Amino acid sequence: MMMLSEMMQTIIEFLDTGGQVLTVIAGVVCLMWLLIFERIGFIFISYRVIKRQLKLTWQERTEQQSWHAEQIRLALISRGHAKLMNNLPLIQSLVVLCPLLGLLGTVTGMIQVFDVMAVSGSGDARSMASGVSRATIPTMAGMVGSLSGVFASTWLQRKAKRETQLLEESMPIVH
């Protein structure tokens, strides 16, 4: 219990050194990863049931050769693809938002540095150090959050594309 308390204290101190923008970045990264884990769980658990139902719907059709049957097949494939792609645009938007929030943290930190310089009337390094810290920590956090999201988002897109291809191949048109 003591270790958890120390860990929470360290996180709170880190968030405080980065300013309010760092707290927003942490929230965005948490939301992004929550959505990423939801998509991973969907692909490996829920989608299997949906895929089975879509294939069963196609296989139960007695007539699979006409233009109408082809359109039904395409609609079933599209339905599966839409379910796979759910929340991916939101994840990609959050990935793009992270470095922008980091840039906002840089600007607010530098404003703090300039305020200290204006009040003190000099460029004293000690008085500017906290502002520089507030400028660099959110930038780093935004970039790290964004990079981790880029890799996960790319993997999810590839997995969705591959699962759509597999669904399409498992529902052949009988001529």
Long-range contacts of 68-76 (CB under 8 A, 24+ apart): 69/173, 70/173, 73/171, 73/173, 76/171
Distance CA 10, CA 8 (A): 5
Please identify which residue in the block is written with the tokens 């792609």: 85
Establish if 41 belongs to a structural domain: yes
In a domain, 79, yes or no: yes
pTM of the predicted model over 0.95: no
Tally of domains within the chain: 1
* 62 within some domain: yes
Cα–Cα dist 26/11, whole Å: 11
Degrees to nearest 5, angle at CA 171 with 170 and 175: 125
Q: What is the pLDDT of residue 65?
A: 86
Q: Would you say residue 150 lies in a domain?
A: yes
pLDDT at 127 over 70: no
Which carries the bigger pLDDT value, residue 21 or residue 49? 49
Q: Is residue 174 part of a domain?
A: no
Residue 143 belongs to domain spanning: 13-169
In a domain, 123, yes or no: yes
Residue the block writes with tokens 């927003």: 24
Do 146 and 95 contact (CB within 8 A), yes or no? yes
Task: Evaluate if residue 149 carries a pLDDT over 70.
Answer: yes
- Average pLDDT of the residues of the chain: 88
In a domain, 64, yes or no: yes
Report if residue 3 sits inside a domain.
no
Average pLDDT over residues 127-154: 85
| pLDDT tens sequence across 53-111 | 999 999 888 888 889 989 999 999 999 999 999 999 999 999 999 999 999 988 887 88
